Amino acid sequence: MKDLPRKEIEALIESTPATPPDSRVRYRGKSIVVVMASWNERGKVAPCVQAVPRDIVDSVCVVDNGSTDGTKDEALEAGAFVVQHPVNLGAGGGYRSGYMYGKLKGFDIVVELAGDNQDDPADIKHVVDHLLDGGYDYVQGSRWMSGGKTVNMTLSRTFLTQLYSLLFRMIYRTRVTDATNGFRAFRTAILDDTGINLWQQWLIQYELEPYLLIKVASLGYKLSEAPVKKIYHDEMEKNTKMVPFKSWYSILRPMFLLPLGLKK
């Protein structure tokens, strides 16, 4: 999968509207943006955008990752700002643009939600509260810790996500119970760290999300977890866009390539 030049992507982000800083909703003194990367998720984007609590979150940024089904129009009608990629840049490329929207537009905190309505926006408040109360830089959502929940999760996915988290704990000596969960909240200031480079071409598929978690853990940022709900769709074919083996390889390889010094 090919990436686009950084300048081109940053130009797309810069041209996307945002609430002016002096007009933003601030929760406990912080401006918060929810980011969702979506590829052909018509029918799922709007419910999630509309459920985001706007007394806490100022803006929702949907990254339309080259959709052809009207995802962009649905997101706009639901009240989101939309960064539109001309082509699908992969899950990593989509969330990279969302993170950078948060940074370039001057938000204090980014909250990531799945673009296919698998996360519950009602969880945002307690996740952000946990981040602020504990003085954390990054909070990972967990369906497996006390208070977390799954709906319609398959046995194979349960096994694989728990196995991945076990490997993560063993390699990085960090207590994380749900290392593959996309629900996360973090301070945009961590994106200024020169040790975190989201613009590497190898990160544009499923590598970027585990890469960021690994970097946060290995660079010594204050990291924690908070319980969240994960809701899977009734029909298995709508459960995920991941491709067996190929996508699993994408998720696994940052865990081994980074500590071996083969990637940075």
Residue labelled with tokens 């686009």 = 4
The pLDDT of residue 131: 98
Higher pLDDT, 238 or 192: 192
Instruction: Report the pLDDT value the prediction gives residue 153, as an integer from 0 to 100.
Output: 85
The C-alpha atoms of residue 127 and residue 225 are separated, in whole angstroms, by: 8
Collapsing DSSP to helix, strand or coil, 71 comes out as helix
Neighbours of 125 (CB within 10 A): 14
The secondary structure element, H or E, covering residue 63 is: strand 59-65
Reported pTM: 0.94
Helices (H), 24-89: 45-51, 71-78
CATH of domain 6-257: 3.90.550.10
Q: pLDDT digits over 184-227, tens only?
A: 999 999 999 999 999 999 999 999 999 999 999 999 999 999 99
Q: Residue 208, Cβ neighbours under 10 Å: how many? A: 24
Q: Is the pLDDT of residue 121 over 80?
A: yes
Name the average pLDDT for the chain: 93
Residue 206 confidence (pLDDT): 94
Residue 27 has pLDDT above 50, yes or no: yes
Which residue would you say has higher pLDDT here, 198 or 116? Answer: 198
Q: What is the pLDDT of residue 154?
A: 85
